[in-house]
Structure formats: structure tokens, C-alpha cells
Structure 1
Amino acid sequence: MREKKKINQQWLFHYGEIGMPKKTAKKAHALGGLTAPLKEEKGEPVAYGAGGEHFLKLIAQGDEIQGLKNLAGTDLDSGIDQNWQTITIPHDWKISQPYKQAPELLMSGSKEDGVGYYRKTFSLNDELMNQKRVILHFEGVMRSADVWLNGAYLGQNTSGYTSFSYDISEMARYGNEGVNVLLVRVDTTTGAEGWWYEGAGIYRDVWLEFVPLIAFDRENAYVYTQELQETQAVMGAEVCIENYSQKIVEVSPVIRIGEQLITLEKQTLQPFEKRILKETFIFPAPIPWSPENPHLYEAVFQMETDECRKSFGIRTFAYDSQGFYLNGNLYELRGVCEHQDFAGVGVALNQDIVDYKIKTMKEMGVNAWRSAHHYASEELMEACDRFGILLMNENRLLESTPWRIADLEKMVRKSRMHASIAFWSVANEEVIGNTNLGSRIAHKLVRCIKQNNYECLVVSAELLNPDGIVNESYLANYDVLGVNYPEADAMGPGAIKIKEQYPELAIMSTESASYFSTRGIYKDNEENCQCSNFGSLFSMILPGKRQPGDPGAGGTATPEKVLNYLTKHQYMGGVFLWTAFDYYGEPSPFGWPAISSQFGIADLCGFPKDYYYYYQANWKKEPVLHILPHWNEEGLEINTDGMIAVRVFSNADEVEIFVNGISFGKKIVVSCIANWEIPYQAGELKAVAYDGNQLITEAKHQTSSTIHAIRSKRIFEGKEYSLFALEAVDDHQRFVPTANNQVTISVENGEIVGLANGNPTNQAAYSLDRVRLFQGKALAIVRTSEASVQIKGIIQK
């Protein structure tokens, strides 16, 4: 049977060029150097037999070693020096590099590109030789990756968002042949794929898979929903069987789903033959997958020599002129867009961090996610399956070059059995969209998707012109037209005009809001690159501080405007908000010294900003009550009359505000918002929510004194990582929302992986033992060795 194991541990990493190994040599597996075993490692740098030894002496006047050097493309005497460090995958080397002020680096996070080398040795047992195929899998390397194994060049992968694999069965070393040497050169200097922070390095898992010679092709093992009925589902299945042996074989493939057995016809395969089988079957009493009930089935593909397990969901998707349908019912998409980075670790996210991000948004009421603007990772797809999040996977560019098409086909096949995959987006805001050229290219991309995924809807995320001018042949490629920012004044009424012109057109909002805010900030501060949570007057369209209502002031559109637009235009089917979290790079509305965006509903660390609770109040049934601002005078905008704005987000009928026990009136909550202007007085600000005359919940802020200690709270516990919120408290254990102190961090029974604070101007040198609080909070990511991990923060004076 097949086996799969991660090889993420004990990699060596060197930042900077060391002399790129050659890609070709004069004889097979003769590159040597760092691509082959070194003196202290088991195995010869170039493996050769008696005839090879004779040949080497002939070409170098009897000097065998010199003969080797004549053949090798690299220095046979290469070694590992002190500039190499031991690291664990996933790894993003860019996150630890210093920030640099340069206009050309601003959008990508103000860090320079570079070259890095990774080296790994591993051993294989003799039992594997000629008995199983050995496949080397890279889930993701940012960006251009050249790979060598055992003195030979394996190949290059260009995109940082695609997985790639090599069958190394024949060229691997087994048993006494010595160790296998893997060298990877990663180069981010040859051009970016996105304008945001993309990171650098081997930032996703690396695997070895051991596959029987007669086996299923995993990516071509596919169970899918053809039709979902009340009492049964009509299902389809495809299976690809590969015979890599040198003999004729008979196999009896079956698919097990719970107690149901689907028996496929017995097959006789010739040596090296590959065969695809197709089947249709009835699945009785299905439990449909949905965000409310993300029920997963497991399909077990079995035959005499192999077993392959894949989870899937039974569900259907559709879009028409009325909106989106899930399992035959109209369904409102409450989605977010998101890049793949995270505070403190860059793009090196493991499953735990992805789970934390998904969980944070799920608790807000999110049911959909757009992987913007790149292919979704395996970790993201797996999390969306489990948590119940409809996923829009996204192709990077509207290009039909051979390598782009090959990447797209590979990623569609890799993702297609994930229950969460509802949409494939062909591209985002392409300037060649709605042209004849764009139409021809889109046709080829859509065909590639439809030929490999029989269930999803295909969309393109378009930034329309205000007049709604479109290319009909371009639109005809898609199941649904995606529109970015249809609610924004700066975009004009283009989406409405298109709908008027094509009333039967399915149209959706693929990107909305882009609302600026800085966690814990309640007045604009240009010097510190901070935006008020009440609504900023800075714009990414026009320079300087603007007037309310100016184009782009506060962002592309306010959250209120986004949801109001969708209420008026329900045929859009819902929304994908930009973005779930702040992200490195694209520091709108400010430039340097800001190094991250401020579009997030949560900050870089995942700490919710205030409008998180506005969406939660609109999207959740449970009582929601959130009050802003905090109640420490520092950082508040108090007018000359001593009055201050107070805002509440709630799904209650009415809310009453109290300061130090004195009521300032009860107000009806309209569209989940109520506002007051009251005199500021230190002490306690309290909100009380009512449905009818019944009190349902309370929320309060208390004025704190100065910071006294650090309180740590484990906010997420995963299989490998735990995430801790570090919070400033005063001598009465009250949260200090204005604390910005430096804190020294120590941990027991764990290892710090990343520290961050969510400050969009945080340019502190990379550290794993010191972090400055921002508005009273910081985040620690800890690799935990046991459940009793303890983390401690000491305030620096």
C-alpha cells in the first residue's frame, strides 16, 4: 500500500548566492558539489562502477579524482560553512529580512528580493527499490525553484503558487548506496507574480510518497455529484489505474463510501499501461454538505495493491439572474477575500494557522472565502471542507501560455474533490478583460477548468468601467460575471447598467469594501499611518485628508454601504469583502513607513477590529453587542465641549448606554448600528441590549491605569502550534488599550515561531524573544511540545 511522509525537519538554509550549480554535466549524475553527498555524508559524490573507474583514469592520466573534477559541473570539494542554518519547513526567509525604504518595494512589503538555497539529506530502505515508486512533492515554493537530486538537475518550477512533483524512483539511492541529497535554489529576483507581499522560500510542506507499482493515480481518483435529489444523489466516479510494472496484471478496483460498495469492472493491464474507468451510481439518503452542516464522506479507492482515501461532499452549485443556489436553494454568500500571509511568519503557514484564520472568520458569520489572487493551498481547502466555507479558487493570470495551462490543469485536478470548491475564478481585474484577445484566452482557461472539474461554477473578477461597456463574447465564457466594488462611487453604476442591458445575466460581487481601519484607533493620525475605526478621511484615490463623501475617503466603500447595496441588489447573491485580515504590503492609504495594508476586518494577528462585530451582528443569530471606542482618554477624539462619539453594533432591537451608571438614553438599533454623542467621563462605559423589554446581553469598557503586567491567553490550540494573545493589564487586571510597551517573551515546553502586534508601521527587527505591544496587544505563535506550554511576558522599562 502507499505511504506518505513529510520531510520538513532538518533542512539547511543559506541566504544569498553561493554559485549556482550547473544544470548539465558531461556524464550522468556527475554534478557533484552540494548536489551530492559531501565527505562527511554516506555515499560517493558520483556513483560509478569498475568501468567508470577505468574511464576516469583514462581521461585524467590515471588520476581518478581529477577525472571526476573534469566531469563535474560544480566544485567537488564544496562544503557547508557557518552561513548555513538549520530550519524547519514551512519557511519564509523574507519575513526575517530588514525593511527598506524604496518606492519600488512599497507595494510588496518593503523587503528586498533575493536568492536562497535549501539542502536536505534523507535515506531510503532497500525494500523500496524496484517495489514502489518514490515521488517527491513540493506543495509550494516562492518563487522560481531549481531542484537537484544526487548530482542531477531535476527541473524548475516557475510559479510560487503551484505544487509540483518529481518521480525520483530510479535516481534515488537505497540502503548502502548512501544518502539522497536534495538541493533547491529559490530565486525571487526574476519577477513577482503579485503586487502584494509574496514571501520567499519553501513555504509549504515537502513530502515523500511511496506508491505501489500498480496503483491509482491519486489526482485522477474523482467522485462527484451529478444530481442531488431529496432521497438520493446521482454520483459520478472516475478512476485512473497505472501499471508501472513490467508484467501483465489483473486488478479488481472498487470504491467504498461508508457501507456502500461500488464495484468496477475487473481490468487487465499491459506493462506500463494507464487506464481511466468511469462509473455512475446512486447514493441513497445523502447528507448534503453545506456551511451549516459540513458533512464529509470518505471515498476509499481500493484494489489488490493499493488504497487511496479522499474526502468529499455531496452538494450542487448554481447561479442565475436571481442569485446563488446551494443544493437547489437560494443562498446568501457572506464571503471574504484573503491573501495567504500571516503575522510573524509571512507566507509560511501550517495547517494550524490556516485553521485559526478560518475559525476567526467563521465566528464572524463568514460562509465563503476567495483565495485572492492565487491558487488555494491544500491547507486552506482542507480547512474550508471541515469548517464549512464555500471556496473560490483563483487562477493567477489571464494567460494561456503552455506552462500556465499546465499549472491550471494540475491545480484544478488537485482541488476538484474538495467539498468546499464552489467557484473557479479565471482571473482578477485583468486589463485585457472584455476584449477579443481576453475572450479567446478565457475560452481556453474555462475549457481547461470544465474538462477537469464537473461541479464548480466559473467566474472572472472584473473591475468594470462606469458605463458598463462589456465584450459579449468575453462574458459568454463564464457561468457568472464577477464584479469588484459594484457599490463604490468611484466605480460608477457599471454593474447596474450591465444588469439593465442583460437582465438574465448571472452577476455576483467578487470583491467589496476595502475599508481602512487600524485596530484600537479612534482618530486619524497621518504621522503614525493610523485610520480611525469610526471612518477615516484618508483616501487611496486622492492625496491627503479629505472631506466626508470625497472619492475613496475611508476606503472604496464603507461596510454599511456594502451591505445596503446588496440588500437593494439581491441578485448579486452575496459578497466577498476585501479583506479578512490585514496583509503585508500594499499599505493603503499611506506609504512609508507603513508596511502593511489596513483593509482587514481583523488585523495582521487576527485580532478583530470594530467592524468585525458589525458584520457579525448582521450575519449571526446569536446576540451580538459591541461598543466603541475604548474608554481611556488617551487616543480618543473629544470635542471642545467634552463630547465624544459612541457607536454600538448589535442585532438587538434596542441598546441603552450608561457612563458610571448614568443612562444616556435607549436607542432603536437600525441596520445593526446605533450612535450617541455623550460627555466623556473616566470610569465605565456600558451598553445594555434589549429585545422588547427583555435584557439579552451587556458590554462594557473600563478606564484603566498604566500597564502593570502581561496577561497571556491561548486563543487557538492546534496540533503543532498554539496562538497566544499577550495583553496589557493594570494592577486591577483591567485591559490597557493604549499600551505600546516593549515586552520580552519566554516560553516553557514550546518554541516561539513568530511574534507580531498588528501595527501597520511595525518595522522592528525580526525577533523571537521581543515584541512591542500595539494598542495593548501582541501575538505569539508557539510550536508546542506538550499541552502544558507556558508563555510569559516581561515589560521592559
Structure 2
Amino acid sequence: MVRNMEKYRLHTGWTFCLDERNEKEETAPSEGFRAVTLPHDWSTDYPFDPESDTCGSGGYAKAGIGWYQRTITISENDIKSRQIILYFEGVYMKSSVFVNGTYAGGHIYGYTPFEVDITALVHEGENEILVRVDNSMQPGSRWYSGSGITRDVWLEKRHPIHVARYGMYLTTDEGNLNISTTLHTSECMKNDDSLSLNFVLKDNDGAEIAKKNIELKNDWMEADLDAAILSGMDEDVPKTLCQLQTSLSIQVENPVLWDHETPYLYELTTILKKNDTVIDERTDKVGFRNIKFDAKKGFLINGKHVKLNGVCLHHDGGCVGAAVPPEIWRRRLEKLKDMGVNSVRCSHNPPDEALLDLCDELGFYVMDEAFDEWRLMKAKEIGSNTHESHGYSMYFDACHEWDLKTMLYRDRNHPGIVLWSIGNEIPEEVVVGGEELAVELSGYCHTIDPTRKVTLAHDQIAAEPYSARDAFMDKIDVVGYNYVGRWRERAELLYDADREEHLDRCVIGTENPSAGYIRSDYNFEVDPGSFWNKPYYTAAVTVGKLLRYTMVHDFVAGDYMWTGIDYLGEANWPQRSAGCGCLDTCGFEKDAFYFYKSVWNQNEKFAYLCPHWNLKLEKGTVLPVICYTNCEDAELFVNGRSFGVKSKGFPCYGMTERYGHFDRYRRPANTDDLFLSWDVPFEPGKIEVVGYHDGKEVCRYNVETTGEAAAIKLTVDKTSVDADGRSVVQAEIRIVDSKGRIVLDASPQLDFALEGDGEIIGIDNGDPACHEQWKETKGRHAFNGMAYAVIRAGQNKGELKLTVTSSDNILTNASATIQAC
């Protein structure tokens, strides 16, 4: 969303201080401030600590209390004719904003935005802004939260009469764009004043295709309870606030429909005029589409049945923590798209709006989730979440209505959002009376946005000793199942266990295990104490069974695999992050990526083999070689010797038209798994797979035993970047041998150096047990042949040069040049 007002992103000019004084001290320290750029997550600035109060849930990161300081310049004209607003997209957590020493406002929940009206507190000239952020009550989250002003901050100077921040509600049906607009004002309108709204709709090429104007009557009403939320305030409705609402429709002939394959977006410009003078202007993206969840057919988009191939995503970006540049999300989402993912679940909190914008643009269906806790605190008895004492349940009664409604109002115009989730694994699902809260929260969703259904991710369906109650689930539009095969015979029956008794129930898999494990980490032993890290040769067996079921049963709308990407926290020392994703924290593809791609992406035939062939095994040791492919058949060769052609039995095809007739050739199958496996004796050299379709070779893939590490290979995702102080370049580092092959068992120490006006804001290697500080540039280990760095451009144009060398100077170094424009 963009507004044509005086609006400035306040990303530079800030200083920060971690407050090591008494936590009750509410005045800023007098010293210790250092320059930072927003968004900023101070938890990434300090070492990992096994004794940290955040514990494994929070990734053993530093939390505490921090202060941010900046000055802003206000003119005399601004004070006379404008409202001066600070808009925070996200501050984790418990923020207090001070202007010229006076408290101006604040917010508790770190994942929802808020605005502070500072008009009455500023004066002409320089004004000091202080923001206190209190994330000291630890452990405070079941995953890494980050600490600080982790999303964008804006200074806005707006006319007293304006379109409310979330005052546009856009819906589409059969070529109609339905527009509901809410205006806000804090000044009195004269009887002879005139107001008008002009709407202009343009297609994806910028051509005008429809417009409409409307003259408004001065039918201002006293603001209702939701008016403050519509504006983004986190306070009671100001007595002077009034609102005016209007609705209309614009008809579009044969609009291009939005879906995951063709994410076509129109652009609506809204212009507000007073006495023919423009006083506010904004643009919104529009996607024409129709969504439906059906108890028999699952999910339908524009009348077409589509299976939701989903992944759960936490909000962190690996080495940048919770302050994630949009370019990092773009790279990650593009990789997930290649994997065949068409949907993401925002686990377990409202996401950065930049992520939602990218989902609209790239074509992802979104489950937008509000809470991980309601009134009842979670207290898991296994893993790292053993001491949950400061979660959202502490603030639920005071904040839940504001936070949920803020998410709904902010996000309801995104065409990618197809489901509202009101909670994840909520203990109230097993408690008598818990359904009353489900009704309340669902009611907010249905009132604010009646076009979408509501889900909740249940983890206690048929659980022991306490089970989710039907009285609770009956209040949920689309019942979400977490780990559907967890209990007793459900490991075999899956959704069949409930289907017969609940034929009218819409069903979706909101969270189920992935085939992920640590990148290029090939162990051959089963660790009974590990929930996620399974041997490579068994990782896809159980998850493949659920995938087969989901794909052939239309009533299951889809499934969200845990997780699409490794995330910080929810770990046990020495690990500080969870390794269950298909991409690691660097965004590098793991073996699981290719497993899901072989099932979900049929666009281009491919084959992939694991493990790598640098294994430290005795010659002749028999081991499984796994092939993930979307080809019908595949043949494995070891040093040129064939180990046979194999075929998957899924999907099966029956006879058609007459007895004995098959539309497709009945291939002899070797397995009912969604992957192929050969047991072969190990010998150094090369393993190669050939993929066949309709009996013809369509692809090849090989893995070789490499030589010793000889050089560093460096690639960047762009060679030019905006010199705006916020845009980033992402660098991938690979350790290669003398023939340029990646040495997947090499982990040398590397040194990073950047010349020019820029900054290395994070370095990572994807190892969940690596304790090197994110911003340290010397002595950084690659992990299994790879590393990753993020460079942020400064504000001066010129050349940036990144150089990576080995700390022992043995490897040939590498460099890349980027132009800051």
C-alpha cells in the first residue's frame, strides 16, 4: 500500500543502546548509544549463550531492554495544517514511544503494527524521538522472536481529513470490484465544503481500464470502537475522531483472474479531494479471484480444484534475525515456488506486510495466523519448550481484540490470503467452554471479512490423555489438523478416522512433518530421541504416505509441511536453530527440497541423488542411494555399471473404457514410496541416474567423489543495487575442488571483506549448531561446502567489492563487484 502524502521511511539516522541497568528504569541511558539502521534486531548483535534466559525456544539469543533514538525535523506549516504520525510496522516487544521527553504511545504485541499521533508533542525544528523496547520477560516465545524495531518505521504528515489507514476494503465477484471506503477526520467540516472520491483502475501494464467518481455528503458520524484500529492506533477512540463511510462497485469486463499460476494484479488509485483540491491519495493492488472451501471438494480457486501444497514459515531470516529485508523473502519464495509450493502458513503470528505483498505478486495462497496462545499458557514437557512463562497468554485479555482486528483490517485486501487462522495448538481446544473464545475470535473474522473462512491448527485431535472436543471443532469453519498421524491407529488411518462421522467438516492439514534434516549430513543411525533429524534413507517414507493420501482425497484441502525453511529457536544446545526445513537458514536447498519438488512440480523433468559421494566409508560398504525424481522410471549407474531401472507405483491407474484397456502403459513398479532406492556397494568415483519418460531419456544427474578443496566460488544475486541505505545483495559461497565441483564435506574458515559504502549485515552457513556471531567477518566457517552473506548498500553511489578468502590462505580467493546506483 502506498500513499501520496508526505511520507518518509525512517531507516537511517537512528542510534541504539542496550540497557543493562535496572529493568524498572524507564528513562533513557545517557551514554552507550551506537548507530544502527532500521529494521534492526539487536538479538543478532550478541553471542549465543547456552545460559541465556531465552533458552532453546529463543535460540539462546540476547534479549533484554533496548532504546532507540532519532531526531525529526518539523516545519511551522506542518504543525498548522497536518497531522504528524509515527507508524511502526512491528516492534518486538512492549514498546513505549517518547517525543521530546513526553510519552506519546506504545504497543505490546511485537507482530502487529501501530501508529502514534505526535502532532501535539512536536514543535518547529528538531524533535527527539525515543523508543523503549522491553523484551526482558524471558522465555517469552516458543521460537526465536528477535528484539527491537524489527520492521519499518514511517513518518507521515497527513491532512486532517484522510482515508483511514486500513479504510479501504476491496472484494471482487464476477467482474465487479466492490470498494468500501472509510474516511477519518478530527476537524469540523463546513456546510459548504465538498468532498469527492475518484477511483482509477489500471491493468498490469498501466493502462486505465475503469474509473468512477463519487461526491460525498457531509454525513460524518462519531467514530465507533473499530475506528481507532482502522487508523492503526493502539489506544481508545479519540473523542474528536469522526468517520464517513461509502461503498460502490466498478465493473470490469473479462478481468484476468488471479491464482497461483497467473498472479495477475490490477492497481487501484484512490484520490480524495476537498473543494477540488487533492488532500489524500493512495494505491492498492487488486486481484480478481473467487475462493471456496468445500467439505467434499477441498479448496477451489475460480471454480477450479487446487490442492494446497503448503509450507509453514516462521518470520526470521536466518543471519538477519527478525529484521528481514524483502529481497531475502523474495529469494526464498522463488525457491519454494520452484519446489512446487503454492501456499504458505504464517506461523504463528501476523507477518511482515512485505511478505504478503510478495505472495500476491508471486502467486502464493496464504494462511494468515494471529496467535500461538490464548488465555491458557502452553507448557510443553519435551524438547526446549520446558519453561513457557511469558507468552501471549499474559496479554490476551487486554490485547487480543485489538491485535486480531488489526491483522484483519491490514491484510484483508491481499488476494493471496485464503484463510484466517485464529490460533495454533491452543490448549483451550481440550477445555470445556473453550469454544466460547473460538466463537468470539471467529466472529471478528466473519464480521470484518465475510469472504474468507476461519481455521485453527489443532494438535490434540484424538490425543491422550486429553483430546480436542467436537464442541470446539464444530465452531471452526475449516478444521486444521496438526500431525494427523500422531496417535495410535491414526498413524495408518490418517483422516479416515474422522471422515465417516464428520462428512460435513472442511478439513486441512495445518502442520505435518517434513522430510527435512541437516543439509548434507548423512547419518546411518536412527536417533530415537530426535523428532526431526532422521536418516536420509527413511526421511521421506512416512511423509510420503501422508502426501499420497492428501493428493488423492479431494476433501483434504491441502497440507502445510513443517517447515519450508529452517528457523531460529526451538532447539536444544548445541543447536540454536531447528533443522527440519527444505531450505536451510541460508536458503540453500536440502535433499527434502528435491523430494517435494518431485511430487509437486511436474513442469520440468529432473532427477536428484543423495547422499554425496565423499563419504568416509570403506570400499564395498553397502548403503542406500536415494533418487528423487518426477520421471516415470530411473536407472542408477555406479562408475558406469547399471544397478537397474526402477519405477514408482504412484499414482496407480485402473482400466478405462473396457476390460483390459489402459490409457497409460502399466509400468512394473518397484516401490509404493514416492522415491526410488538402490542398495549399492560404495566405491569412490561417480554415481549417475538417468530419468526416463515414455521410455525415452529426459534427464541425467550425477554425483562425484571430488578432490580436495582448492578454491572459493562466489556468486551474487544482483550486480547493481539501489544506494538507498536499505537494499541488499545476497552472496552464495561454495567451496570447490580444482575441477570446480562443490566439496560437500569441506568446512574451511573464511574471511569476508567489503570495500565501498556498504555493510555486511549477516553471514551464515546453515549449520544449526554453529555459534559464530552473525556479523563477525573473520574466521567464519563454511558448512558442508557452502556459506552465505548479506550486504546492505549505503547511501553513496559507487562500487562495492566483496572479497572472500580462506583464513589460512590455502584456497584461491573470490570476489564480486556490485554497482550502487
Please state which band the TM-score falls in when normalised by the shorter chain.
0.7 to 0.9
The letter of the residue matching 2:565 is: F
Please show how residues 147-296 of structure 1 align to structure 2 within 5 Å: 147-174=97-124, 178-191=125-138, 193-225=140-172, 227-228=173-174, 233-248=175-190, 249-258=193-202, 259-268=209-218, 273-296=242-265
Partners of 1:652 and 1:669 within 8 A in 2: no
Partners of 1:118 and 1:184 within 8 A in 2: yes
Classify the secondary structure of the residue corresponding to 2:103: strand
> Is 2:763 the counterpart of 1:755?
yes
Aligned to 2:698: 696
Aligned to 1:645: 624
Aligned to 1:314: 288
Aligned to 2:511: 511
- Distance apart, 1:353 and its partner CA: 1.3
Structure 1 residues 560 and 716: CA distance shift in structure 2, 3 A: farther
Alpha-carbon distance in structure 2 between the residues aligned to 1:181 and 1:773: 43
Partners of 1:133 and 1:167 within 8 A in 2: yes
- Distance apart, 1:411 and its partner CA: 1.5
> Is 2:16 the counterpart of 1:13?
yes
Aligned to 1:27: none
- Distance apart, 1:149 and its partner CA: 0.8
**CA offsets, 1:614-662, max 9 Å, x none?**
111111121121111111133xxx4784223211111112222223333
**CA offsets, 1:258-292, max 9 Å, x none?**
23123334323669642111224433212111110
Deviates more, 1:93-102 or 1:156-165: 93-102
Please show how residues 718-737 of structure 1 align to structure 2 within 5 Å: 720-737=727-744
Please show how residues 292-303 of structure 1 align to structure 2 within 5 Å: 292-303=261-272
Alpha-carbon distance in structure 2 between the residues aligned to 1:581 and 1:502: 33
> Is 2:374 the counterpart of 1:398?
yes
Aligned to 1:482: 480
The letter of the residue matching 1:358 is: L
- Distance apart, 1:593 and its partner CA: 0.9
Please show how residues 598-609 of structure 1 align to structure 2 within 5 Å: 598-609=579-590
Partners of 2:310 and 2:560 within 8 A in 1: yes
Alpha-carbon distance in structure 1 between the residues aligned to 2:623 and 2:587: 28
- Distance apart, 1:559 and its partner CA: 2.9
Partners of 2:760 and 2:775 within 8 A in 1: no
Provide structure 2 residue ranges, at least 5 long, that are not aligned to the other structure.
Answer: 203-208, 221-239, 274-278, 376-395, 651-673, 809-821
Alpha-carbon distance in structure 2 between the residues aligned to 1:547 and 1:693: 32
Alpha-carbon distance in structure 2 between the residues aligned to 1:567 and 1:546: 24
Alpha-carbon distance in structure 1 between the residues aligned to 2:293 and 2:748: 51
**CA offsets, 1:431-450, max 9 Å, x none?**
11154432111111111112
**CA offsets, 1:396-419, max 9 Å, x none?**
133562421011111210111111
Please show how residues 433-444 of structure 1 align to structure 2 within 5 Å: 433-444=429-440
Alpha-carbon distance in structure 2 between the residues aligned to 1:279 and 1:470: 43
Aligned to 1:563: 547
> Is 2:804 the counterpart of 1:796?
no
- Distance apart, 1:20 and its partner CA: 7.4
Partners of 2:360 and 2:415 within 8 A in 1: yes
Aligned to 1:39: none
The letter of the residue matching 1:768 is: E
Partners of 1:343 and 1:755 within 8 A in 2: no
TM-score w.r.t. the length of structure 2 is: 0.82
Classify the secondary structure of the residue corresponding to 2:577: coil
Alpha-carbon distance in structure 1 between the residues aligned to 2:649 and 2:423: 37
**CA offsets, 1:143-176, max 9 Å, x none?**
11111111211223111111111111222222xx
Q: Aligned to 2:781, which of 772, 786, 789?
A: 772
Deviates more, 1:476-485 or 1:134-143: 476-485
What root-mean-square deviation, in Å, do the aligned CA atoms of Structure 1 and Structure 2 show?
Answer: 2.7
Partners of 1:243 and 1:269 within 8 A in 2: no
Structure 1 residues 748 and 454: CA distance shift in structure 2, 3 A: farther
Classify the secondary structure of the residue corresponding to 1:445: helix
Classify the secondary structure of the residue corresponding to 1:765: coil
Please show how residues 112-123 of structure 1 align to structure 2 within 5 Å: 112-123=62-73
**CA offsets, 1:698-734, max 9 Å, x none?**
1112222221111111246776111111110122222
- Distance apart, 1:214 and its partner CA: 2.1
> Is 2:615 the counterpart of 1:633?
yes
> Is 2:329 the counterpart of 1:329?
no
- Distance apart, 1:515 and its partner CA: 4.1
Alpha-carbon distance in structure 1 between the residues aligned to 2:58 and 2:494: 30
Classify the secondary structure of the residue corresponding to 2:120: coil
**CA offsets, 1:521-569, max 9 Å, x none?**
11158xxxxxxxxxx5444469xx99999xxx969x8431231231353
**CA offsets, 1:80-123, max 9 Å, x none?**
x3x21100011111122222224961222122431111111111
TM-score w.r.t. the length of structure 1 is: 0.84
- Distance apart, 1:199 and its partner CA: 0.9
Aligned to 2:501: 501
Aligned to 2:85: 135
Partners of 2:461 and 2:481 within 8 A in 1: no
Deviates more, 1:133-142 or 1:243-252: 243-252
Structure 1 residues 413 and 272: CA distance shift in structure 2, 3 A: closer
- Distance apart, 1:455 and its partner CA: 2.1
Partners of 1:651 and 1:669 within 8 A in 2: no
**CA offsets, 1:486-518, max 9 Å, x none?**
134566557433322111111111111144511
Classify the secondary structure of the residue corresponding to 1:179: strand
The letter of the residue matching 2:546 is: V
Aligned to 1:54: none
- Distance apart, 1:679 and its partner CA: 2.4
Q: In percent, how many aligned pairs have the same letter? A: 27
Aligned to 2:595: 614
Partners of 2:516 and 2:592 within 8 A in 1: no
Q: Aligned to 2:38, which of 65, 82, 89?
A: 89
Classify the secondary structure of the residue corresponding to 1:383: helix
Aligned to 1:40: none
Structure 1 residues 502 and 367: CA distance shift in structure 2, 3 A: same
Please show how residues 731-746 of structure 1 align to structure 2 within 5 Å: 731-746=738-753
Alpha-carbon distance in structure 2 between the residues aligned to 1:183 and 1:685: 61
Aligned to 1:41: none
Alpha-carbon distance in structure 2 between the residues aligned to 1:122 and 1:434: 51
Partners of 2:210 and 2:250 within 8 A in 1: no
Alpha-carbon distance in structure 2 between the residues aligned to 1:364 and 1:697: 17
Aligned to 1:43: none
Provide structure 1 residue ranges, at least 5 long, that are not aligned to the other structure.
Answer: 24-32, 35-77, 526-535
The letter of the residue matching 1:776 is: G
Count of residue pairs the alignment pairs up = 713
Partners of 2:619 and 2:681 within 8 A in 1: no
Structure 1 residues 415 and 563: CA distance shift in structure 2, 3 A: same
Structure 1 residues 792 and 216: CA distance shift in structure 2, 3 A: same
Aligned to 1:342: 317
Aligned to 2:223: none
Aligned to 2:570: 586
Deviates more, 1:715-724 or 1:303-312: 715-724
- Distance apart, 1:253 and its partner CA: 1.3
Please show how residues 675-686 of structure 1 align to structure 2 within 5 Å: 675-686=677-688
